[in-house]
Amino acid sequence: MNSEARRYVGDADQMRPDDGLMCWVDGTIESPIAEPETPEEFGDRHLWVVTTENVHYAPEACDFGKCRGAGATKHSNLTGGGRAFVGGELVFLEADTIAITGCSGRYRLRSGKEMAAIERAFVESGYNVWSMGYNEDTNRPHQFGLSDPKWISL
């Protein structure tokens, strides 16, 4: 976990399934569709993290997060403050189409190559994927709403 990330009371409390924590389930898409129209809005955000065993995800805005110091779920709540390789945000645009970022203060991406690997992994898990991408100039992933997403196809 990034030791420079801002800390909040309760940010290492372990979220549980009855709080909204879920394990990623492969989708049904075998081959990405042709690029559709670029989404204009991104709805309810979820946080995701990749651990050694699973990809966990959960709503960012939920009752569990509201009663923590930050007022929202943090990536570290998905791991109980434990280890994860990387984290980010995702939005379900349709049942089989998602938009993702690599934005996590606690489990940061370290390069555009890591972002590309995450994009590919989500596509290979059976989803159509829009990605906000990675800004090589700032060495940080793009956030939702600050740039246009790119369509990921293999």
Kindly report, residue by residue over 49-60, the tens digit of the pLDDT. 999 999 999 999
pLDDT at 8: 65
Q: Which amino acid is at 136?
A: E
Kindly report, residue by residue over 104-152, the tens digit of the pLDDT. 999 999 999 999 999 999 999 999 999 999 999 999 999 998 889 999 9
Least confident of 7-16, 74-83, 85-94, 120-129: 7-16
Q: In sequence order, what DSSP letters do the residues of 69-104 get, joined into one string?
A: TTSS--GGGGTTT---SEEEEEEEEETTEEEE----
